[in-house]
């Protein structure tokens, strides 16, 4: 049942190339320059009239939504807000019939996310669900359902569901961009071409697992660490930090790199591990200067960067893991895999129950 792996989590990490392909299958035209989302029950007119988007979810699904926001705002230029479902439902969100509410849920059963969906309906919005479970409560109540084809996820810590949500968001952003005319066919094709390369590129990340294991064993001796990043790298930092806490019980914080000096830098001391996500060309210099700030205070810095930037980054860090080159908006689909492996091996080194971390349930059907 675990396909030769010791844990479901590791099996599911390795299923990501397939999950990417399955989530894209049937949703791209033969020429590879258009996305077809026939499951969206929105007319072109309705799509053109969307004034704002609210992406609502919990935990890892919320983190996928942060990546989704970057894609939608970047490609479609519609304003997007991200909300944690348990906050959204009680903050009297401002929803109108021209709002598109997107709820994201692997299980489709999360109580707060379901309540957020109903909140969206109460405001007259169209609610689109991105979920992994076809017959789930959220799928049944939503107006449109975009199914992630990740297959069943058994490990409590979500891996392939998150990355499939990222792929689903990319498809959705491309589709909205076509309808609203914000990206040309050539631009759409370039992104789809890059998405088609992701499955093999994930394999390249997986091939580095022995090195990642060694690093994970070194952080397992620490009580605290930091993840840093800017833009989507910050989104991945948040997901990496959650995964590490969840299964290794090592405390970590994810910080927007530029925000450190507004207080948290006081916590950086000799020998503290800092994991810096540095894949975004547009802010790379800024991230490197933040890395230098923590280095100067004695931090041990690991960078997660890409082939194009590793030479620059290596001048300022102790060690780096390198992801293959892809488009800036797609890096989360690769960089997060490094953080999944890190969390897995740290949990293993500390002899925790990787698939069933303490105090947690796979599906949170109570608020």
Token pair of 194 as six digits? 């890059």
User: Do the beta carbons of residue 113 and residue 127 sit within 8 Å?
Assistant: no
Binding to ligand F6R by residue 61, rule CB under 6 A? yes
Token pair of 341 as six digits? 């492996």
Token pair of 78 as six digits? 């519609």
Nearer to ligand F6R (CB atom), residue 61 or residue 346: 61
Binding to ligand F6R by residue 364, rule CB under 6 A? yes
Q: How far is the CB of 52 from ligand F6R (least distance, A)?
A: 23
User: Do the beta carbons of residue 119 and residue 71 sit within 8 Å?
Assistant: no
Q: Dihedral of the CA atoms 180, 48, 150, 61 (nearest 10)? A: 110
DSSP category for residue 61: H
Binding to ligand F6R by residue 163, rule CB under 6 A? no
Token pair of 141 as six digits? 């109540």
Q: Which of residues 193-222 bind ligand F6R (CB under 6 A)?
A: none
Binding to ligand F6R by residue 110, rule CB under 6 A? yes
Q: Give the 3-state secondary structure of residue 154.
A: coil
- Among 86, 105, 248, 280, the residue binding ligand F6R under the rule CB under 6 A is 105
Q: Which of residues 113-152 bind ligand F6R (CB under 6 A)?
A: 113
Binding to ligand F6R by residue 168, rule CB under 6 A? no
- Segment near ligand F6R (CB under 6 A), from 70-78, 107-115, 210-218, 333-341? 107-115
- Segment near ligand F6R (CB under 6 A), from 2-10, 99-107, 287-295, 320-328? 99-107
Q: How far is the CB of 232 from ligand F6R (least distance, A)?
A: 18
Q: Are strands 224-229 and 273-278 parallel, antiparallel or unpaired?
A: parallel
- Count Cβ atoms below 10 Å from residue 75 Cβ, excluding itself: 23
- Among 157, 225, 322, 329, the residue binding ligand F6R under the rule CB under 6 A is 157
Q: Which of residues 242-281 bind ligand F6R (CB under 6 A)?
A: 242-243, 246
- Segment near ligand F6R (CB under 6 A), from 100-108, 171-179, 260-268, 343-351? 100-108
Catalytic residues: 362
Of 306, 301, 299, which Cα lies nearest the Cα of 318? 301
User: Do the beta carbons of residue 337 and residue 19 sit within 8 Å?
Assistant: no
As a whole number of angstroms, the distance between CA 365 and CA 22 comes to 27
User: Do the beta carbons of residue 87 and residue 56 sit within 8 Å?
Assistant: no
- Among 70, 99, 107, 252, the residue binding ligand F6R under the rule CB under 6 A is 107
Q: Which of residues 316-345 bind ligand F6R (CB under 6 A)?
A: none
Binding to ligand F6R by residue 58, rule CB under 6 A? yes
Binding to ligand F6R by residue 158, rule CB under 6 A? yes
Of 60, 119, 61, which Cα lies nearest the Cα of 88? 119
As a whole number of angstroms, the distance between CA 347 and CA 342 comes to 9
Which residues form the interface with ligand F6R (CB under 6 A)? 58-61, 105-107, 110, 113, 157-158, 242-243, 246, 363-364
């Amino acid at each position: 049942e675990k396909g030769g792996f010791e844990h479901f989590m590791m099996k599911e990490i390795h299923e990501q190339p397939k999950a990417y392909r399955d989530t894209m299958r049937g949703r791209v035209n033969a020429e590879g320059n258009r996305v077809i989302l026939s499951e969206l029950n929105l007319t072109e007119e309705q799509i053109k009239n969307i004034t704002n988007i609210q992406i609502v979810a919990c935990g890892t699904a919320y983190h996928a939504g942060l990546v989704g926001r970057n894609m939608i705002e970047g490609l479609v230029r519609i304003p997007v807000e991200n909300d944690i479902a348990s906050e959204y439902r009680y903050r009297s969100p401002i929803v109108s019939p021209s709002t598109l509410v997107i709820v994201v849920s692997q299980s489709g059963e999360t109580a707060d996310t379901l309540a957020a969906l109903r909140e969206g309906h109460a405001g007259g919005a169209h609610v689109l669900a991105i979920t992994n479970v076809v017959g789930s409560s959220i799928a049944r109540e939503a107006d449109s359902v975009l199914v992630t084809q990740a297959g069943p996820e058994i490990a409590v810590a979500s891996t392939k569901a998150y990355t499939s949500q990222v792929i689903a968001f990319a498809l959705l952003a491309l589709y909205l961009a076509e309808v609203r005319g914000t990206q040309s066919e050539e631009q759409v094709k370039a992104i789809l071409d890059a998405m088609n390369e992701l499955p093999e590129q994930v394999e390249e990340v997986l091939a580095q697992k022995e090195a990642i294991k060694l690093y994970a064993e070194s952080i397992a001796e620490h009580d605290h660490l930091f993840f840093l990043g800017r833009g989507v790298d910050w989104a991945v930092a948040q997901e990496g930090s959650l995964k590490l806490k969840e299964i290794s019980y090592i405390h970590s914080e994810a910080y927007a790199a530029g925000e450190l000096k507004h207080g948290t830098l006081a916590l950086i001391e000799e020998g503290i591990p800092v994991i810096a996500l540095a894949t975004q060309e547009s802010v790379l210099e800024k991230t490197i200067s933040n890395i230098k700030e923590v280095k100067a205070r004695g931090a041990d810095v690991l960078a997660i960067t890409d082939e194009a930037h590793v030479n620059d980054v290596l001048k300022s860090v102790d060690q780096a893991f390198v992801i293959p080159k892809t488009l800036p908006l797609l890096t989360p689909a690769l960089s997060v895999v490094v953080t999944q492996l890190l969390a897995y091996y740290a949990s293993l080194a500390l002899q925790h129950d990787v698939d069933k971390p303490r105090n947690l349930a796979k599906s949170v059907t109570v608020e």
